Amino acid sequence: MVRTDSNIPKLPLTDTSDGITTIGQKAYFEGWVGFASLHKSVNCSEALTRPKSNFLYSTAVPRLTAAEIVKSCQKSCETFRQNYGFERYPKVTKEEHHFPIAFIILFHTSLDQVLFLLRAIYRPQNVYCLTVDLNAKRELLEGISAVSSCFHNVFVASKLERVVYAGFSRLVADLHCMEDLLAHPIPWKYVINLPGQQFPLK
């Protein structure tokens, strides 16, 4: 039997010297990790101490189609960001504010998986260029366009490529994003390129 969060004693949140609440405690007790709809049913402590119980959670995560994601964004960007957990982190620190990072994400399938990756690396001071393989279905491009419209620092590359993986076009797709990033007002320090299927991390 898997315990629910109501059975777990609520430990007091501890402030660090800089006034920011301990991230580990907030992540556990305030539901930053995972899906908001599962926060009251999934017990992190149980999952860590009894790994065999993890299979109980795997089928509980709902996956949305690109069309459903578009509809969600069009209905309310604020609700979309909250439901996907983009607004679950604490305020930006001075160090983060003065050291923004640029990300390039290239993908060709599974929009919801791309969103899980974006959520995992998202911070408001960074900037994210999303580039879609033109060999992908049109609904994928429509979906990511709708998503990017809900953020000030997420955008779709101005030029897209039909990508041959391990070919030159793969590099060209990144270069298009880099060109866009150089023109972006956020003064990023480094750029990191990722495949859209990097999440779950291995």
Q: What is the pLDDT of residue 65?
A: 83
pLDDT for res 41: 58
Whether 183 shows a pLDDT value over 60: the answer reads yes
More reliable by pLDDT, 165 or 177: 177
- pLDDT one-digit tens code per residue, 14-43: 444 444 445 444 544 554 444 555 555 566
pLDDT for 42: 60
* 146 has pLDDT over 80: yes
pLDDT of 15 reads 41
pLDDT at 198 over 80: yes
Residue 195, φ and ψ in degrees, nearest 5: -80, 145
Digit-coded pLDDT (tens) for 155-169: 999 999 999 988 899
Q: Answer yes or no: pTM beyond 0.75.
A: no
Task: List Cβ<8 Å contacts ≥24 apart for 16-24.
Answer: 18/93, 20/90, 20/91, 20/93, 21/90, 23/90
Are residues 112 and 84 in contact, defined by beta-carbon separation less than 8 angstroms? no
Note the pLDDT of residue 7. Answer: 41
- Summarised one tens digit per residue, pLDDT across range 96-129 is 999 999 999 999 988 988 998 999 899 999 999 9
pLDDT of residue 43: 65
Report the pLDDT averaged over residues 176-185.
96
Distances (CA, A) of 55 to 46, 89, 126, 201: 12, 27, 34, 18
Q: What confidence score (pLDDT) does residue 51 get?
A: 59
Which tens digits make up the pLDDT trace of 50-98? 655 555 555 445 677 888 889 989 999 998 998 888 887 778 888 999 9
